[in-house]
């Protein structure tokens, strides 16, 4: 790794000042992506700003009336262990247990997963399905961005100069709400998703009242397929409805071929995984 | 089967290096720190095939942290000659060329230059300052492509050896040989069923967890001292001496604890480069590869193109077999296709055989052995073709194999005749194993299908020289000095064989693996030879100890003849245990030092078979291993836990090879998955418990009947898994790896 | 600029000077001479460098040394109590759960974290937890059995 300086601010204001003074600084959460990128030379920086000592970025707050706020640097291992989170957002606890292996989960965070802006990020399709909102601090103050709008290209997000992610907010699930993330990997652990699908469905009075579907690893960014979710609304949770949504999800995918899988195979998996994920949330045959 | 009873052999004592290895105290190559050590870094070619136009080291040399820079020009200019450095005859220029490229780079990752600096970070930065101008050339990445007319040639001076005769044609084929037994044309004419199939297998890596590492010190007395991670300290000594044109007496190699090898740490990569850097800088220099360097710059094992044709009579008698084996050597000749030819039909008594082998250079890293090198690719072909024949003839696949199994006296196409072997016993053990007839169970979901497959494999094992010294201490313990790098508990199994002779316990032994000055020549820890050959040397050294102890006892008791049995020396009423006599040796003579050096012959090959149950998700093509049983002939299991460990480890490497491991190359010859993230070796979650059944058909030449067990176990898993996938899905798999996209494609096409 | 880091190492106060770019793994091995923690891949995929950071299992190749300021780090060198091996260490020897031994320190640390977290893990739980640690020699069978044996011993 090239030489760099290190700073660990303890407040939002201090962090903002540091980033304003050092426009090419990189912020550090768990480091499981950033350190790999710095080691390989894919990224270089004169200053690493460690955000893990800022209270807002390391807290999990659950408000039974509002929802859940997860600080951007909270490691996955804390999410899988959090009682309220496991109870109210079980799919989120599950996805936190999917990122890397045990030791990686000791450091890696949902915030880092989002900011790294990889098309394959496991947590992002689920966060989209959960209608999560990213809360961003910057020179102009705080702003909120829907997670589906956060990533703009591989490795690039909407974060502007001097901005960083503070937390991610998850609204309270409605009655009848279920969410699930399903990914395909060739091994059973320690792999990058060949395709990932995050879905959420809300069933009320035997009809699907709301549905959201997002995909990983099939486009330059995690892909929110609004039409696929919308196609389910108003329908009974039948396998025909599910198949229709899966076809729409598959049609939206624009995968590439690389060492992890050929494009055709990825397209095929979009259909399979979407069907399976929706079947899981809808309990349909 | 083995019937002799032993007091120690066959038991499971704790290994001697156990405490060191669970406390972090064991010193591996990278753990060594000599005062003033500099850190080396190697600059590698970004091109799979390129002419080196120029190398400018000026900017690197001028960096304040730089202490030395070397290129191929720094190797002594000795004329090319053929050398045998433990892996057969090889031109010196090839070995030297792989160490640091000269004029051309032949694969992405080929070492071009190296630097020594005051820190590893600085060394990496300085290596990047070396300016190399390349003229990229077209590359060839597979054996068929390299053999095609008009293919780009890697070596202008390489001429194909055809049937043992040199030819004049420049070629990427270094060698084409043919083994013929009987008349395969005639044999096929008599066959009722003939199956002929083509197979391809991808390049795979041994995947040892410890990267290559070496520290070299060109001492002020002119001696070169090396500490490294190697499977063969004497191979390193001889290679370095050859490279640097030094007498072997000027080089001392100390093998540190080694973090895995599987054949990949037989070749030498960084030691001569560290030595040159030390000579130039006057300080010790350590070079440790990164994981990317290991994958791109060390030797994986060959990918291959194979065609196998087998003919059978209606009753299952195999009457003819033909194999076409084209193996990718990587950048320099030596694809281990000869052992593949030896193994391809070794499990069967087939009268008419023709085997063609091609050793083909391609623009990938120069290949290295990997656990039964060559045999796994070949067995994938043979054992799946046999499965197809069994299916066509409606025969049980093990019954078909048993009907044709090789036995003592069976002749192979390479001309050799088997001595006592355990092929039949392995197959019978598989057939009788509860796994073979257990219900498969219900698939776990609607799109899942289950199947069971079997296969067997053979590896001939190696002998080679080994040496051992035993020092008898006054308290009756024995220091055992040997030169075989201990990769999997061998120092304990070797010590057990000496202790068995001496009537001692494992705990009475103090085994040490020492440097090349301190022990007689010992071949590599490879070829499944260590427990067999070095254990045999330890046995002979122990006999030497017994002889000397008897002489001391005779003197002590003033008798002519002394007996030794069950650890007790006796003559008339005189009786002393080994330990009691050891305490009194000083009264009547010099200390007892036993020694032996042998050139072990007759390793006696080992057969191993696999029974595997899989579940295939037919919508995704993903294969899960549900149950796995490995059966292997060990001859005699000295320490059964470590025999099982070899069987389990080899099986799981075979599973990885079967399902997901491969060098994924871009068309330009760049390895796209050079990390443990994307080079997908099995994790603990990818495999079940691996059941083992040790068969013991004693090797008649070895004092304890030992056959090596390190290798044969990897040979059958890919074929067994392919057969299981067929049983589950009805689809035949003819390419490795059988990863989810390729299994799904097969399902969609069949 | 080197940074002065003070932390607790295997229960004792310790300190080192490090460049910010040095990983915790490098600091342990190069600056503090604790070479029991091994490097196999450098990018968090083999687990050989696993240590506990404030009791949490991490791969020390993906932690900067400077990040451990004021924190607690436990390595393989700190598992045994004086000259007595920890039950996990003993189980690994007794069950032949190591061959070459290079991955062993990482597996020991991962196992320790697992059993601190779940004293009676099932086989699938063990396999899932240990999936961040690659072993190329054993095929994992004897490792899983050693973990089961150590867990039973520690519950007794």
**pLDDT tens-digit series, residues A148-174:** 999 999 999 999 999 999 999 999 999
Neighbours of B237 (CB within 10 A): 27
Looking at residue C130, the DSSP 8-state letter turns out to be G
Instruction: Look over chain B and give the mean of its residue pLDDT values, rounded to a whole number.
Output: 97
Residues B475 and B534 sit within 8 Å (Cβ to Cβ):
no
Nearest to B242 by CA among B373, B49, B91, B113: B91
Instruction: Look over chain A and give the mean of its residue pLDDT values, rounded to a whole number.
Output: 96
Angle at A217 between CA A134 and CA B209, to 5 degrees: 105
In whole angstroms, give the CA distance from residue B584 to residue B305. 65
Q: Using the predicted structure, report yes or no on whether residue B1 has a pLDDT greater than 80.
A: no
What residues in B contact C99, CB-CB < 8 Å? 260, 487-489, 642, 645-646, 649
DSSP B586-630: HHHSSPPEEEEEEEE-----EEEEEEEEEEEETTTTEEEEEEEEE
Domain assignment present for residue A140? The answer is yes
Closest residue in chain C to residue A6, using alpha carbons only: C20
Looking at residue C11, the DSSP 8-state letter turns out to be T
Mutating which of A102, A182, A188 best tests the B interface, going by the most B Cβ atoms within 10 A? Answer: A188
The beta-carbon neighbor of A272 closest among B620, B624, B660 is B620
Domain count, chain B: 3
CA distance A267 to chain B (A): 11
Residues B496 and B581 grouped into a single domain: yes
> What are the structural domains of chain C?
3-76 (3.10.20.30), 87-155 (1.10.150.120)
Residues A234 and A184 grouped into a single domain: yes
Per-residue pLDDT, B90:
86
What is the CA B616 to chain-centroid distance, rounded? Answer: 31
Mean pLDDT of A122-151: 98
Give strand ranges (E) for B342-391. 352-361
Which residue, A171, A190, A214, sits at the end of a domain? A171
Q: Chain B within 8 Å of C143 (Cβ-Cβ)?
A: yes
What residues in B contact A2, CB-CB < 8 Å? 125
Domain assignment present for residue A105? The answer is yes
Residues B440 and B496 grouped into a single domain: no
Mean pLDDT of B570-594: 96
Which band of pLDDT confidence, cut at 50, 70 and 90, is reported for residue B2? low
Residues B634 and B558 grouped into a single domain: no
Domain assignment present for residue B165? The answer is no
Residues B632 and B719 grouped into a single domain: yes
In this structure, are strands B478-482 and B509-513 parallel, antiparallel, or unpaired?
parallel
Phi, psi (rounded to 5 degrees) for A278: -65, -40
Residues B224 and B291 grouped into a single domain: yes
Per-residue pLDDT, B555:
97
Q: Whole-model pTM above 0.95?
A: yes
Domain count, chain A: 3
The CATH number covering residue B689 comes to 3.30.365.10
In this structure, are strands B568-571 and B563-565 parallel, antiparallel, or unpaired?
antiparallel
Per-residue pLDDT, A285:
36
How is residue B600 written in tokens? 């072990």
Taking one residue from A and the other from B, the number of pairs with CB-CB distance under 8 angstroms is: 50
pLDDT digits (tens, 9 = 90+) for A175-200: 999 999 999 999 999 999 999 999 99
Q: Which chains share 3+ C-beta pairs under 8 angstroms with C?
A: A, B
Which residue, A152, A171, A190, sits at the end of a domain? A171
The CATH number covering residue A198 comes to 3.30.390.50
What residues in A contact B660, CB-CB < 8 Å? 186-187
Residues B128 and B273 grouped into a single domain: yes
Residues B571 and B453 grouped into a single domain: no
The CATH number covering residue B243 comes to 3.90.1170.50
Closest residue in chain C to residue B21, using alpha carbons only: C101
Q: Which chains share 3+ C-beta pairs under 8 angstroms with A?
A: B, C
How is residue B687 written in tokens? 């495999």
What is the CA B728 to chain-centroid distance, rounded? Answer: 32
Residues B491 and B530 grouped into a single domain: yes
Domain assignment present for residue B4? The answer is no
Whether C66 sits inside 8 A of A6 (CB atoms) is yes
The CATH number covering residue A78 comes to 3.30.465.10
Residues B594 and B609 grouped into a single domain: no
Which band of pLDDT confidence, cut at 50, 70 and 90, is reported for residue B378? very high
Nearest to B105 by CA among B155, B171, B37: B155
Whether B672 sits inside 8 A of A192 (CB atoms) is no
Angle between helix B640-659 and helix C141-155 axes, rounded to 10 deg:
120
CA distance B121 to chain A (A): 7
Residues B369 and B518 grouped into a single domain: no
CA distance C42 to chain B (A): 7
Neighbours of A285 (CB within 10 A): 9
Angle between helix A239-252 and helix A263-282 axes, rounded to 10 deg:
150
What residues does B170 pair with on adjacent strands? B159
Q: Chain A within 8 Å of C72 (Cβ-Cβ)?
A: no
In whole angstroms, give the CA distance from residue C16 to residue C32. 7
Phi, psi (rounded to 5 degrees) for A56: -65, -25
Residues A166 and A184 grouped into a single domain: no
Which residue, B600, B635, B659, sits at the end of a domain? B600
pLDDT digits (tens, 9 = 90+) for B457-476: 999 999 999 999 999 999 99
Which band of pLDDT confidence, cut at 50, 70 and 90, is reported for residue B3? low
In whole angstroms, give the CA distance from residue B463 to residue A4. 54
Which residue, B600, B623, B646, sits at the end of a domain? B600
Domain that holds residue A167: 57-171
> In chain B, pLDDT over 90 holds for what percent of residues?
96
Mean pLDDT of A45-71: 97
pLDDT digits (tens, 9 = 90+) for B72-114: 999 998 888 888 877 678 889 999 999 999 999 999 999 999 9
Per-residue pLDDT, B645:
98
Contacts 24+ apart (CB under 8 A), B425-428: B425/B1, B425/B633, B425/B695, B425/B697, B426/B456, B426/B607, B426/B608, B426/B609, B426/B631, B426/B632, B426/B633, B426/B695, B427/B398, B427/B401, B427/B402, B427/B456, B427/B609, B428/B402
Domain assignment present for residue A52? The answer is no
What residues in A contact C133, CB-CB < 8 Å? 101, 103
pLDDT digits (tens, 9 = 90+) for B254-309: 999 999 999 999 999 999 999 999 999 999 999 999 999 999 999 999 999 999 99
Domain that holds residue B283: 29-137+211-258+265-297
Residues A244 and A191 grouped into a single domain: yes
Mean pLDDT of A80-87: 96
Q: Which helix (H) or strand (E) holds B719?
A: helix B717-729
Mean pLDDT of B724-729: 98
Domain assignment present for residue B622? The answer is yes
Which residue, A144, A171, A198, sits at the end of a domain? A171
Q: Using the predicted structure, report yes or no on whether residue B604 has a pLDDT greater than 90.
A: no
Residues B449 and B319 grouped into a single domain: yes
Residues A181 and A261 grouped into a single domain: yes
Domain assignment present for residue B535? The answer is yes
Residues B430 and B470 grouped into a single domain: no
Whether C64 sits inside 8 A of A4 (CB atoms) is no
């Amino acid at each position: 790794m090239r030489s760099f300086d290190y700073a660990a601010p303890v407040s939002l204001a201090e962090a903002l000042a540091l980033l304003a003074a050092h426009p090419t600084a990189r912020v550090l959460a768990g480091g499981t992506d950033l350190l790999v990128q710095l080691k390989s030379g894919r990224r270089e920086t004169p200053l690493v700003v460690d955000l893990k000592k800022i209270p807002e970025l390391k807290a999990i707050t659950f408000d039974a009336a509002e929802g859940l706020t997860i600080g951007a640097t909270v490691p996955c291992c804390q999410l899988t262990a959090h009682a309220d989170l496991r109870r109210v957002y079980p799919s989120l606890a599950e996805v936190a247990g999917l990122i890397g292996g045990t030791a990686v989960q000791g450091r890696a965070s949902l915030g880092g997963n989002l900011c790294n802006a990889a098309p394959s990020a496991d947590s992002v399709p689920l966060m989209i399905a959960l209608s999560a909102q990213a809360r961003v601090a910057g020179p102009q103050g705080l702003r909120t961005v829907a997670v589906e709008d956060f990533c703009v290209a591989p490795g690039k997000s909407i974060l502007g100069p001097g901005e960083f992610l503070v937390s991610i907010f998850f609204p309270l699930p409605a009655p009848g709400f279920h969410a699930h993330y399903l990914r395909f990997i060739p091994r059973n652990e320690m792999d990058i998703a060949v395709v990932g699908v995050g879905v959420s469905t809300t069933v009320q009075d035997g009809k699907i009242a709301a549905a959201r579907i997002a995909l990983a690893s099939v486009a330059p960014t995690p892909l929110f397929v609004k039409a696929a979710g919308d196609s389910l609304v108003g329908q009974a949770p039948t396998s025909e409805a599910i198949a229709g949504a899966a076809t729409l999800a598959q049609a939206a995918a624009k995968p590439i071929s690389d060492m992890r899988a050929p494009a055709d195979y990825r397209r095929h998996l979009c259909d399979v995984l979407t069907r399976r994920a929706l079947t899981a949330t809808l309990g349909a045959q | 089967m083995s019937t002799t009873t032993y007091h120690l052999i066959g038991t499971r004592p704790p290994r001697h290096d156990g405490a060191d290895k669970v406390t972090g105290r064991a010193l591996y190559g990278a753990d060594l720190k000599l005062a003033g050590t500099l850190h080396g870094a190697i600059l590698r070619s970004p091109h799979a095939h390129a002419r080196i136009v120029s190398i400018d080291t000026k900017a690197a040399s001028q960096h304040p942290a730089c202490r030395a820079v070397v290129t191929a020009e720094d190797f002594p200019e000795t004329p090319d000659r053929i050398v045998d450095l433990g892996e057969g005859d090889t031109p010196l220029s090839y070995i030297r060329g792989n160490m640091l490229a000269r004029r051309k780079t032949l694969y992405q990752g080929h070492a071009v230059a190296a630097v020594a600096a005051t820190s590893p970070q600085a060394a990496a930065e300085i290596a990047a300052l070396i300016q190399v101008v390349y003229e990229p050339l077209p590359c060839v990445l597979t054996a068929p492509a390299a053999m095609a007319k008009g293919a780009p040639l890697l070596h202008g001076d390489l001429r194909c050896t055809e049937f043992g005769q040199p030819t004049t044609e420049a070629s990427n084929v270094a060698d084409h040989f043919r083994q013929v037994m009987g008349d395969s044309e005639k044999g096929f004419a008599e066959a009722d069923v003939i199956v002929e199939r083509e197979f391809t297998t991808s390049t795979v890596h041994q995947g040892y967890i410890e990267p290559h590492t070496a520290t070299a010190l060109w001492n002020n007395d002119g001696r070169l001292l090396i500490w490294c991670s190697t499977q063969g300290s004497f191979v390193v000594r001889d290679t370095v001496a050859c490279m640097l044109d030094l007498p072997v007496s000027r080089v001392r190699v100390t093998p540190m604890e080694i973090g895995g090898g599987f054949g990949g740490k037989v070749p030498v990569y960084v030691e001569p480069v560290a030595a040159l850097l030390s000579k130039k800088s006057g300080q010790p220099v350590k070079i440790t590869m990164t994981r990317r360097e290991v994958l791109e710059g060390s030797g994986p094992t060959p990918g291959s193109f194979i065609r196998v044709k087998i003919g059978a009579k209606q009753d299952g008698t195999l009457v003819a077999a033909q194999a076409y084996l084209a193996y990718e050597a990587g950048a320099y000749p030596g694809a281990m296709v000869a052992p593949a030819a030896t193994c391809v039909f070794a499990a069967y008594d087939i009268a008419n055989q023709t085997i063609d082998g091609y050793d083909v250079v391609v623009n990938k890293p120069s290949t290295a052995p990997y656990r039964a090198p060559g045999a796994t690719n070949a067995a994938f072909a043979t054992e799946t073709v046999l499965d197809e024949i069994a299916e066509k003839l409606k025969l049980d696949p093990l019954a078909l194999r048993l009907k044709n199994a090789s036995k003592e006296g069976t002749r192979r196409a390479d001309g050799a005749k088997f001595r006592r072997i355990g092929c039949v016993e392995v197959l019978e053990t598989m057939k009788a194993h509860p796994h073979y007839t257990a219900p498969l169970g219900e698939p776990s979901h609607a799109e899942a299908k289950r199947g069971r497959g079997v296969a067997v494999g053979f590896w001939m094992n190696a002998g080679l020289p080994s040496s051992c010294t035993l020092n008898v201490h006054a308290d009756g313990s024995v220091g055992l000095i040997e030169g075989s790098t201990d990769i999997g508990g061998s120092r304990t199994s070797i010590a057990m064989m000496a202790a068995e002779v001496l009537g001692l316990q494992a705990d009475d032994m103090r085994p040490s693996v020492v440097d090349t000055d301190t022990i007689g020549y010992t071949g590599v820890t490879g070829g499944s030879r260590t427990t067999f050959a070095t254990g045999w040397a330890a046995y002979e050294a122990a006999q030497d100890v017994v002889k000397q102890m008897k002489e001391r006892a005779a003197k002590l008791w003033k008798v002519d003849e002394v007996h030794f049995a069950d650890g007790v020396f006796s003559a008339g009423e005189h009786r002393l245990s080994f330990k009691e006599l050891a305490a009194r040796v000083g009264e009547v003579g010099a200390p007892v030092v036993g020694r032996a050096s042998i050139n072990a012959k007759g390793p006696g090959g080992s057969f191993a078979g696999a029974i595997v149950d899989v579940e295939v998700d037919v919508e995704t093509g993903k294969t899960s291993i549900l149950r796995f049983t490995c059966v292997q002939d060990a001859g005699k299991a000295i320490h059964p836990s470590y025999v099982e460990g070899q069987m389990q480890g080899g099986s799981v490497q075979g599973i990885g090879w079967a399902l997901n491991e491969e060098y994924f190359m871009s068309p330009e010859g760049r390895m796209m998955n050079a990390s443990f993230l994307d080079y997908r070796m099995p994790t603990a979650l990818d495999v079940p418990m691996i059941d083992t059944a040790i068969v013991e058909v004693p090797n008649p030449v070895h004092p304890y009947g030992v056959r090596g067990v390190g290798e044969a176990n990897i040979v059958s898993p890919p074929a067994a898994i392919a057969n299981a996938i067929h049983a589950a899905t009805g689809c035949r798999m003819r390419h490795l790896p059988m990863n989810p996209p390729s299994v799904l494609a097969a399902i969609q096409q069949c | 600029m080197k940074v002065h880091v003070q932390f607790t190492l295997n229960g004792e106060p310790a300190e080192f000077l490090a460049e910010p770019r040095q990983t915790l793994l490098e600091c342990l091995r190069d600056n503090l001479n604790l070479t029991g923690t091994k490097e196999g891949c450098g990018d968090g995929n083999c687990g050989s460098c696993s240590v506990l950071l404030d009791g949490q299992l991490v791969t020390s190749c993906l932690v900067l040394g400077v990040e451990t300021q004021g924190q607690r780090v436990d390595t393989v060198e700190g598992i045994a109590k004086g000259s007595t091996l920890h039950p996990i260490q003993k189980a690994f020897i007794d069950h032949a759960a190591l061959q070459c031994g290079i991955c062993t320190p990482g597996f020991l640390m991962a196992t320790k974290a697992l059993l601190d977290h779940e004293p009676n893990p099932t086989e699938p739980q063990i396999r899932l937890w240990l999936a961040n640690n690659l072993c190329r020699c054993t095929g994992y069978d004897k490792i899983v059995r050693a973990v089961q044996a150590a867990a039973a011993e520690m519950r007794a």
